[in-house]
Amino acid sequence: MGLFDKLRGSTEINLSPRAAMLLACLSMVGADGEFDDDEIAIIYRIDGEQRTRAWDQALDAWRRMRSPTDCVKLVAARLDPEQRRFTLANLFDIAMADGFLEGAEQALLEMYLEAFDADPAFVEALCDVIGTKNNRSRFTQ
């Protein structure tokens, strides 16, 4: 124990599965260093008014993380396989909210896919659905 450890308080982060899912979403929104309104709207849709204990836990954990990638292992440990599928679907939606998947968002999504041991067929289906959902080109001609 270091000299200042008593002053820092507990460093343990306890998350419910719902809080872990919300933390994953926050990490994806913040992956590129910007909190885009379209991405935040997806979290609002998932968790309503953000007045839940899970939301408070997720925000507290987010503030204590050093980077979005620090969230991956913590989140993966808290979710069962079905919760991981739900979370991945929303992470894909957040990552594609601006119509592009690139850079930090893509790298973080790949980390979640690996940590969640995602089924390739499920991931392919997600890509098809989210890609179709976000392809506005048929309506902009």
Contact (Cβ atoms closer than 8 angstroms) between residue 123 and residue 56? no
Write the burial class of residue 66 (CB in 10 Å: 0-12 exposed, 13-18 middle, 19+ buried): exposed
Whether the predicted pLDDT of 80 surpasses 80? yes
Residues 106, 109, 115, 117, CA torsion sign: negative
Q: How does DSSP classify residue 117?
A: T
Tens digits of residue pLDDT in 41-79: 888 888 876 678 898 999 999 999 878 888 999 999 999
Nearest Cα to 100, choosing from 72, 122, 131? 131
Q: How does DSSP classify residue 139?
A: G
Tell me the pTM: 0.85
Whether the predicted pLDDT of 1 surpasses 50? no
Whether the predicted pLDDT of 6 surpasses 70? no
Tens digits of residue pLDDT in 87-121: 999 999 999 887 778 789 999 999 999 999 999 99
Residue whose entry in the numeric block shows the structure tokens 């919300």: 22
Task: Please report the pLDDT score of residue 89 as a whole number.
Answer: 95
Whether the predicted pLDDT of 139 surpasses 90? no
Calculate mean pLDDT across residues 26-37. Answer: 86
Task: Please report the pLDDT score of residue 65 as a whole number.
Answer: 86
Whether the predicted pLDDT of 127 surpasses 60? yes
Whether the predicted pLDDT of 135 surpasses 50? yes
More confident residue, 86 or 132: 86
**Cα 2 from Cα 91, distance rounded (Å):** 38
